[in-house]
Structure 1
């Protein structure tokens, strides 16, 4: 069956995207359509912050793009030799802001320098609110802006024209739901109710539900393996 994945290809990886590979193992043909594009901002401020580590109790990452922004600063020609990112993260398997915030709250003393949170322009306030409510100091900085991919509607129209309505569509972020849903509804028409909609996690699921979609499956963890298993089960 045909599965439409509304996500960007993995950066810097050779071979097929892991989501396409995992779905193929179940006999399904997956197609990626990029939904978002990113613009990095405030990199000078970010560089200044990174080289004042004594002011902060740690770094908090919740997106690959924030990691990319930090890498860009550390790979600047003038400071390349100073340090490498080489971090040993905690909480990488948490999957949601709610769970990650609990990990941080349980681990950190409130009497520490503020944690530094480089983030995107579109974010939920779950983690910052939870940390502040529990006395864990936090400083945030927007280091990238999320906007709709310029070719999104054209690519979606081409997909539906060439391959028809897919058996399943997976969303990977609330932003993806915001930018894609109206076009998907228009292109699928009366066949919308036949599509099995999948979500990468509970946050995306909540956004889909709020928009009136019936969510057929949610990945147990935000990985290609878990999402593919969930979609395959829904398509049985």
Structure 2
């Protein structure tokens, strides 16, 4: 049975007391259930710690997700990030990551409106004269796409990559999905997929919902949309930016 106005968010967990995505849908008269699709395992934090002690070797930092911020924060071992990083050119993808950098590290970054790596590259290229020929330090996960290196490399802007976490499937995802759908008997009207990896970890279980193809799907970003459309799901709306307001608009666009 398809439950009207029920939104299922398939995303990573948040450390915040209140999930902003749950909050905005609830305030707009939707019922919301959240299933955690992914977990993260951190590594190379000792190496990252050494790199962070040498801000003069870099023109700035790139944060492409909250996990990158968390890795930096963990590697500092409760110490403050060196003041010299504040004088560098630091960048983020997305508003959530921007807020997290500000909260955890006290760094003001550019790029919070970019939404994806391709748009961030364009922003960084505009600042090429500020980078002093030094590479940008880029702590990232194992699923990095290479977009930044490709686009920035064309403008001779260097990136120093360090892989600091692995993205792994939440081992309890089916249990959580069974609970959210009452053993696949109550299907959400909407499913929001936040990433390609989140889709891959959940698709086999979503197919167990009898109304699987009747659900209205929303992708966060064009890369996630492309992955969804490779499946038997042939219609979805796309939120071009990974923030609660844009995702709400994408869901509501089904009724326009």
- TM-score, normalising length: structure 1: 0.90
Q: How many residues align?
A: 230
Partner of 2:17: 14
Shift of the alpha carbon at 1:82?
5.8
Structure 1 position 132 matched with structure 2 position 132: no
Partner of 2:60: 58
Q: Is the 8 A contact 1:131 1:137 kept in 2?
A: yes
Partner of 2:98: none
After superposition, give the CA deviation of every residue in 1:45-80 in whole Å (9 maximum; x if it has no partner): 000100011111111110100001101122x15x45
Shift of the alpha carbon at 1:131?
1.0
Shift of the alpha carbon at 1:220?
3.7
1:3 is matched with which residue: 7, 12, 25?
A: 7
Q: Secondary structure, in 3 states, of the residue corresponding to 2:32?
A: strand
Gaps in structure 2 of 5+ consecutive residues: 84-103
User: How do 1:32-71 and structure 2 match up within 5 A?
Assistant: 32-71=34-73
Q: Secondary structure, in 3 states, of the residue corresponding to 2:167?
A: strand
Shift of the alpha carbon at 1:154?
1.6
Give the 3 Å change call, closer, same or farther, for CA 231–97 of structure 1 in structure 2.
same
Gaps in structure 1 of 5+ consecutive residues: none
Partner of 2:172: 151
Higher strand share: 2
For 1:81 and 1:69, the matched residues in 2 are separated by 12
For 1:102 and 1:128, the matched residues in 2 are separated by 12
For 2:240 and 2:145, the matched residues in 1 are separated by 20
Question: Post-superposition, which runs of at least 4 consecutive aligned residues in structure 1 deviate over 3 A?
Answer: 79-84
- TM-score, normalising length: structure 2: 0.83
User: How do 1:1-236 and structure 2 match up within 5 A?
Assistant: 1-11=5-15, 13-15=16-18, 17-74=19-76, 76=77, 79-80=79-80, 85-109=105-129, 112-161=133-182, 164-185=186-207, 187-189=208-210, 191-235=211-255
RMSD over equivalenced CA pairs, Å: 1.9
